[in-house]
Chain A
Amino acid sequence: MQNPDKFTKEKNLTPIILAMKDLKELYEAVITGDAVTARSITEEALSGETDPLSLVSEHLTPAMDEIGRRFEASECFVPELLLSARAMKGAMELIQPRLLESGVELLGRVIVATVKGDLHDIGKNLVAAVLEGGGFEVIDMGVNVEPEKIVETIKEKDVQIVVLSALLTTTMPAMKTSIEAIEAAGVRDKVTILVGGAPVTQRFADEIGADGYSDSAVGAVAVARKAVGA
């Protein structure tokens, strides 16, 4: 028997296809780091029937994954990655309130900090940007962060992941003391600790008892996702 609604449905096909095409442009906008276009498409999509979660999972996240892949393959570098993360963040700012309304939770809450003694924020900012782009809520604690402050924040904010950054070989030991402080405070089991920064290696991460390491900001997202089982 013929579906009585068939005609209406077919008639609706056109706008659906158009919408799909527009959303493909959202993916492209994030890839090319076009924040203005990414925002305007997102705005339009949210004012229509589009499911906010699908915007994230089907368009934004794949775009960040693709730019991340290119970054890892040295097909693009920090400037491109930053522009994409910024475009993604702009879109996410619009989407997040809608997600919260519908009870969808973010992947997890992450502390990002450059360890005590180290004033370098470039690597840390980069990791914060791509983690936000990757669907995490990021608490950026800044540079030269005392281990006690990290412990306090873990306790107060129900944090799942702690990302520690150091650029200097001379401040790498402060990663170890930060981890020791987290242990001493009895909250080590609550968090996954990831470390990174130019002089940091997997071997160093293992030696100081970190749970994970990545040699790049993009890699950090993959490690963080794994840590929360996403």
Chain B
Amino acid sequence: MPLSIEKLIADGPVVTDGAWGTEFQARGLAVGDSPDTWNLSNPDQVIAVAQAYVDAGSQIILTNTFGANRLRLEESGAAKNTVEINQAGVELSRRAAGDQALVFASMGASGKILMMGDTREEDLQAAFEEQAQALSKADAIVVETMSELDEARIAVSAARATGLPVVACMVFDSGANNDRTMMGVTPEETAEALTKAGADVIGANCGQGVAGFVAICERLHSATDRPIWIKANAGTPELVDGELVYRTSPDEFAAYAGNLMAAGANFIGGCCGTNPEFIRALRKEVSRLEKLIPPT
């Protein structure tokens, strides 16, 4: 029985997870090594990160498979293990989640631009189909950090072929108001195109700090009848004594939950710069607000 998104969000917004890559680095992943290959070489650490989010109150955790499509794995020489890396990613998150959280499998952008001729449509399609099929034991698939509608459509269609619910999000980091993707796509165009492509949930992740997500959430929400997924960065990083520091605190981040909920967000979580502390604060804030606002 496939997961019902409708039932899942019936009682109010669902808290997802935060960033994984930075957590891995805190656990010894060398800068430049592909995090995805840790599913095979360092599974205990992957479970530890997943577990930290479950313990912090994530109701949905993702998988360590963001860059595990063949086109990206080729760059780190791991393409031959594409299927295993994805399958292991789901399994590891599942073990951490137990019956405490759902597992939504992550499918990130290919890192190639179709119109630049970096890759061909059929190669992109084959890569996403292979990854999606390998992720098919998850509860849903999240197509994330997309900039180009054509690529997003291809990924959504590959993910839909598994029969799982599909979340599709783009990254808004361009334009005068940070309300366009790098390829110039607006929230409205995103909502319209991805709804038409058959995504069950539409959203935005990464690209900017949480403050900018309120308006984007509102615009996505008003352009589609689908639930909205938001995963915001903690803010813009600064370098302090050689270390990257995000200035936004977990509480400051969580304080946006109310605005995001009012703007129509059904799933809220964090992206770059967030960690389990952000999710703990977010879950607390969402619970507090849910008690204040009776479900409609």
B288 CB to nearest A CB, Å: 30
Tell me whether A122 and B182 are in contact (CB under 8 A): yes
In the complex the two chains form, what is the Cα distance from A202 to B113 in whole Å? 27
Out of B177, B183, B207, name the residue touching A79 (CB < 8 Å): B183
Residue A143 at the chain B interface, CB threshold 8 Å: yes
Tell me whether B32 and A144 are in contact (CB under 8 A): yes
CB-CB contacts below 8 Å: A171-230 with B: 171-174, 176, 198-199, 201, 203-204, 207-208
In the complex the two chains form, what is the Cα distance from A26 to B31 in whole Å? 46
CB-CB contacts below 8 Å: B168-208 with A: 173-177, 180, 182-184, 207
Out of A77, A118, A119, A207, name the residue touching B182 (CB < 8 Å): A77
Total chain B interface residues with beta-carbon distance under 8 A? 35
Residue B99 at the chain A interface, CB threshold 8 Å: no
Residue A62 at the chain B interface, CB threshold 8 Å: no
Q: Who on chain A is nearest to B185 by CB? A: A77
In the complex the two chains form, what is the Cα distance from A96 to B281 in whole Å? 59
Q: Who on chain B is nearest to A72 by CB? A: B176
Tell me whether B174 and A169 are in contact (CB under 8 A): no
Residue A76 at the chain B interface, CB threshold 8 Å: yes
B76 CB to nearest A CB, Å: 7
The majority secondary structure among interface residues of chain B is: loop
A80 / chain B contacts, CB cutoff of 8 Å: 184
B292 / chain A contacts, CB cutoff of 8 Å: none
Residue A165 at the chain B interface, CB threshold 8 Å: no
Tell me whether B116 and A172 are in contact (CB under 8 A): no
Residue B72 at the chain A interface, CB threshold 8 Å: yes
Provide the A105-116 mask, 1 if CB < 8 A to any CB of B, else 0: 000000000001
Q: Who on chain B is nearest to A118 by CB? A: B32
Residue A90 at the chain B interface, CB threshold 8 Å: no
Residue B45 at the chain A interface, CB threshold 8 Å: no
A98 CB to nearest B CB, Å: 27
CB-CB contacts below 8 Å: A120-148 with B: 120-122, 125, 143-144
Given A78-B184, A174-B31, A204-B239: A73 and B75 interface contact (C-beta under 8 Å): no
Residues of B within 8 A of A (CB): 21-22, 25, 30-33, 72, 75-76, 111-113, 115-116, 118, 147, 173-177, 180, 182-184, 207, 236-239, 242, 244, 272-273
